[in-house]
Amino acid sequence: MPDAARIGAVAVLVSCAEVRDNRRSAERSSRALPSPSLPPEEAAMPKFAANLTMMFNEHPFPLRFAAAAHAGFEAVEFLFPYEHAPAEVAAWLKAHGLVNVLFNMPPGDWAAGERGLASLPGREAEFRAGVVRALEYAQALGTPRLHAMAGLVVPGAAPGIQRALYVDNLRHAARAAAPYGVTVLIEPINTRDMPGYFLSTQAEAHAIREEIGEPNLLVQMDLYHAQIMEGDIATKLRRYLPHVGHIQIAGVPERNEPDDGELDYRYLFRLLDELGYAGWVGCEYRPRGRTEDGLGWLRETGA
C-alpha cells in the first residue's frame, strides 16, 4: 500500500475509534446522571391514608397497622375504634409510625342496620353522648377529624323536622369539638349502597354546612359516592374543595382499587394538586384480592 494511502487508512481508523470512545463516554455520563424530574403535575400527588376497616382484611384489626406501614402508608383511617380501648389503638399507631386522620362517631346499632344518629328524632341524648365518646378517642389518638353519620330517613317523619334536628345536632357537635381542634365532617353517601341515607348529594351537604356556619364543620367528599349519585366530579371539586375537609376514593362501580373503573383518578389526583388540596385522601375501597397485590396504583403515583 502506498504511504499516502496507509496514512489515510490509519487516520480513518483513529477517527472511528474516537467516535466510539466519545459515544461510550456519553453513554456512561448519561447513566451516571440522575433521572430528570417529573413535571410538577406528575411529581406531586396527594397524601394517601389506608382505610383499615376495608383494607388489609387478611389480618385481624390490630395487625392491620403493621401491614399498612409495611405497604408504605404513613396514615390510616377506620370506621369505628370503639371495640378497642383508646390506649390500645394509640399504641398500635405509635408502634408503626402512623397517624390516624379520621374515624366515625358512634353510629347507633350498626349490626341492626342503623347508620348514624345525627338526624334521628328522639336520639338526641345518645348522639350527644357519642360526641363525647368520640372526642375522648380523638384526644387519645391525636385524630383531627370526626365523621358524624346522619342516619336513615325515618318513615313518616316530616323531612323538615328531621333536617332541623340534623342541623341542631351538628351545630352542637362542632361547638363541642372546637376546643380540641377537631373538625366535624358530614358525608353524602350514595343510596345504592346505603338505601334511605339522609344525606346523599354535595349540594345538600354544603347547604347544611353553610346554614350551620361553624368553621370546623366541613364536608367529607367521597368521590365514589359522588360519582354514583351525581358524576361531574372535576367540576364539583373545583366548586366545593375549599369547604372539603377530607376526600375518599374507590373504583366505580365495584368499589375496588381506584385504577379499576370508570373514574380517571390519575387526572383527578393532578386536579387536586392543581387546586392546592393539602389534606389526606382516604383509600376506602374493597381490594379485589390480597391488599398489597392491588397497590400498583399507589406505587405508580410515587406516593
How does pLDDT run across 124-158, given as a tens digit for each residue? 999 999 999 999 999 999 999 999 999 999 999 88
Q: Which of 38-42, 47-51, 85-89 has the lowest mean pLDDT?
A: 38-42
**303: confidence class by pLDDT, cuts 50, 70, 90:** low
Nearest CA among 254, 301, 249, 264 for reference residue 51: 249
Q: Rounded CA gap, 237 and 223, in Å?
A: 9
Q: Does residue 206 surpass a pLDDT of 70?
A: yes
User: What is the mean predicted confidence (pLDDT) over 199-209?
Assistant: 98
Helices (H) then strands (E): counts for the chain: 11, 8
Nearest CA among 188, 170, 166, 186 for reference residue 178: 170
User: Would you say 189 and 197 are in contact if contact means Cβ atoms under 8 Å apart?
Assistant: yes
Q: Tell me the pLDDT of the chain averaged across its residues.
A: 88
Q: Rounded CA gap, 151 and 298, in Å?
A: 33
User: Which residues are marked as active site?
Assistant: 187, 284
The CB-side HSE value for 224 (13 A sphere, CA atoms) comes to 25
Cα-based torsion angle of the residue sequence 150, 130, 94, 257 in order, rounded to the nearest 10 degrees: -20
What does the block give as the cell for 264?
380517571
**44: confidence class by pLDDT, cuts 50, 70, 90:** low
User: Would you say 121 and 164 are in contact if contact means Cβ atoms under 8 Å apart?
Assistant: no
